[in-house]
Structure 1
Amino acid sequence: MQAWGRPVGDANGVHADGNVPVPIVLVDTDEGITGVGLGAHAHLDAVFPAIEGEDPRAVTALYDRMVRRTFKAGHAGAVFGAIGALDTALWDIKAQAAGEPLWRLLGGRDRRIPAYASGLDIALTDAELIAVHQEYAARGLRAAKLKGGLDIGRDRRRLELVREVLTEAGQGARPALMLDVNESWTRKQAVRHVGKLERALDLVWIEEPVRRWDAEGLAAVGRGIRASVATGENLTGLEQYRPLLAAGAVDIVQAAAVWGVTHFLRVSALAHAHDLPVSPIGTTPVGLLHAAASVPNHLVSELQDLQPPLGVSVDLTVEDGAFVLGDAPGLGITLDAGAIATPAPRSEGTPDVRPERAGLRLH
């Protein structure tokens, strides 16, 4: 459980109590090494036979075995989450067996991964928003992404408040600001709303301004604004990225931690072939942080909660605006079974359930 201690959410809904389930999968080996994968893993029983009894060091081959096992029904959505969780656990095992942190095993040189603040903050008051970003600023963060999309006037005011916090912390240096509207606008709304913001603010990117699969719409938004268009966290497989890249619809290529390390590495290579940067997304994106250290086009990674989930310890720190990865073998994750609570059931009103009339607004 990720216990934020405050409401968290986006344009689609809010976890009012701030308690967000964090599924964990453990993969054991006959050599006594256990790998950890974080993220939803529905249909795990259907995917696991692809790796059962196999040498876990053959990670990329096993990843493809899992994908092939879902060939008929397709590997999108929840099934892709199961593949990603198992894949992350296999990379953890492989690096532990080698006695190295994953970032070094993958060929990384720099253990520092630049970060930006992302507080899932749409439900916060102005005072709460300022206080949260003062905490981020104290860790050296000078970039922030706010959740918005429901009230453009409120979005502008909140962005300006955060700009003030980060500017003061940076002794006058201009911070980087981003806005994530979680697919809540139409194409025309996106161009109109971002245009209003850009008369007062310098946005680095607008995230998921329209639906994730709308390549033509994302490209149209990109042509109509100055800010970059970021998307990709909900895309599951390279075949879903290809239409967007072909249409010139994305400027910042994102990938979610829940889809696994191999997926991120392949997305990064595809983006690099198009001269585009990549940016990992996730509440606890430790697997992708290790992978990000090894790719040439990593831009910046999302930092959500400053604390890990309950019962989870990770060998990394946040200093001077960056994740700093440690030297523990594998992902550096240790678990306290006694502290891991049973997740609460999901309900209506959370960010995981799209509102019935999302995006259907006159203003």
Structure 2
Amino acid sequence: MRITGYRTLTTVQRWGRAVGDANGVHTDGIVPVSVILVDTDEGITGVGLGPHVAAEAIFAAIDGEDPRSVAALYDRMLRQTFKAGHAGAVFGTIGAFDTALWDIKAQAAGEPLWRLLGGRDRTVPAYASGLDIGLTDGELVATYESYAERGLRAAKLKGGLDVERDRHRLTLVREVLTEAARGMRPGLMLDANECWSRKQAVRHVAELERTLDLTWIEEPVRRWDADGLAAVSRGVRAAVATGENLTGLEQFRPLLAAGGVDIVQTAAVWGVSHFLRVAALAHAHDLPVSPIGNTPVALLHAATSVPNHLASELQDLQPPVGIAVDLHVADGAFVLGDAPGLGIRVDEGAVASAYRGDGPAPSGPQVRPELAGRRLLPGAVYR
């Protein structure tokens, strides 16, 4: 079997409500989702969800190769971008190709990827994540009621701009999940998306912890601030979760050495091979690993095969337009199916009609506000 070519598509996730975090909000609730398809001479096509940046240059590393040699081809792609750097969206493109290759390998074997990777149980524990900072109280409650109906007993809220507002919103969601869990204590997490300084983080979380039990605080300070993350971890009761924006094992090393991470995260768009390597590194430090992302299907398959998986992020309850996935959510978990490979089907016609080709928004969650990390005084303007 040989790789013969690739195609790129862009579809959209339609949330039907505003989504965002402390850095900004998509008010229309429409977010682009990039897709890479890798073709072979045996008619098997693999699907990867991730960016297209530098796709042609990266594809040169795997063109004509046997796609089943996934581990070796992953390192070939990393070497292909050695001088330019394999970070950010470029690392995402490598991850998308890598995911597509794993999809091909499992399809060729006639097995779902979770079984090919050695997983025993097709169920993957989940937590709810509504990207909800722009919601009213009523919208917030309704959103988490829909998660609770599917058995979710843990939730991660976006916050970090106002401690009393965060306390109020976390309490609302706690009540929703407690009722659904028949009185059991739900898990509550808060994601600040790197909007704080070290002291802001400790003050904010410590104040919340006077009345709330937080499972973890996510990205309290900048992703590379190993000493700062360690200081936050020492200063609060909650675990510190981070890693979704780190793009190589070399970036995790200083955080682990400094004790700056308690929950090791990795983004779905970085690919299966990266997740497996990060999970092994975390396991060597007796730390749990948790995948992050809107459609983390590939990492859900991989999560079944690692001993230290904690829980995976469940964002939207519906997949992107034109994407069908062989999984469902029940009893607080993703339940993977038996379709060979990742179980992803792409309706290219539906995708073509869904995306309007708009450029990136001038603001939103992907753009860091000017005064981020400089809000020690109450009433500081944050824009």
Same fold, judged at TM 0.5 (above): yes
Aligned-partner residue type, residue 74 of structure 1? G
Cα displacement string for residues 195-221 of structure 1 (whole angstroms, at most 9, x for unaligned residues): 000000000000000000000000000
- CA-atom RMSD in angstroms: 0.7
Larger mean CA deviation between 199-208 and 69-78 belongs to 69-78
Distance across 1 between alignment mates of 2:34 and 2:369: 24
Amino acid in structure 2 at the alignment position of 1:120? L
**What does residue 273 of structure 1 align with?**
284
Hey, what's the Cα distance between the residues in 2 that align with 1:41 and 1:128? 34
Q: Where does residue 352 of structure 1 map in the other structure?
A: 366
1:142 aligns with 2:156: no
3-state SS, counterpart of residue 203 of structure 1: coil
Q: Which deviations, in whole Å up to 9, do the C-alpha atoms of 1:271-323 show, x marking residues without a partner?
A: 00000000000000000000000000000000000000000000000000000
Q: How does 1:121-270 map to 2 (within 5 A)?
A: 121-270=132-281
CA offsets 1:152-206 (integer angstroms, 9 cap, x no match): 1100000000000000001100000000000000000111110000000000000
Deviation at 1:359, TM superposition (A): 2.1
2-side partners of 1:147 and 1:284: how far apart? 18
How far 1:41 moved relative to its partner?
2.4
For normalisation by structure 1, the TM-score amounts to 0.99
1:41 aligned to which of 36, 41, 52: 52
Tell me the number of residue pairs that the alignment of Structure 1 and Structure 2 aligns: 363
**5+ unaligned residues in a row in structure 2: which ranges?**
1-11, 379-383
| Aligned residue identity for 1:93 | I
Are residues 1:96 and 2:110 paired?
Answer: no
Which whole-Å CA distance do the structure 1 matches of 2:333 and 2:341 have between them?
20
SS at the partner of 1:21? strand
* Secondary structure of the corresponding residue to residue 73 of structure 1: coil
Structure 1 position 357, deviation (Å) = 1.7
Asked if structure 1 preserves the Cα contact closer than 8 Å seen for 2:51 and 2:90, the reply is no
Instruction: Give 1:103 shift.
Output: 0.2
Q: Which runs of 4+ in 1 moved over 3 A?
A: none
Q: Helix, strand or coil for the counterpart of 1:50?
A: coil
Whole-angstrom distance in 2 between the partners of 1:39 and 1:26:
10
Instruction: Report the counterpart of residue 52 of structure 1 in structure 2.
Output: 63
Mapped pair 1:61 → 2:75: no
How high is the TM-score relative to the length of structure 2? 0.94
Following superposition, the deviation at residue 225 of structure 1 comes to 0.4
* Mapped partners of 2:323, 2:62: distance in 1: 25
Gaps spanning 5+ residues in structure 1: where? none
Q: Which residue of 1 aligns with 2:329?
A: 318
Residue 12 of structure 1 pairs with residue 23 of structure 2: yes
Bigger Cα displacement from structure 2, 79-88 vs 351-360: 351-360
Distance 1:261 1:173 in 2: 34
Residue 247 of structure 1 aligns with an amino acid whose one-letter code is: A
Give percent identity, aligned residues only. 77
Which stretch shifts more, 23-32 or 343-352?
Answer: 343-352
Q: In the TM superposition, what are the counterparts of 1:74-89 in structure 2 within 5 Å?
A: 74-89=85-100
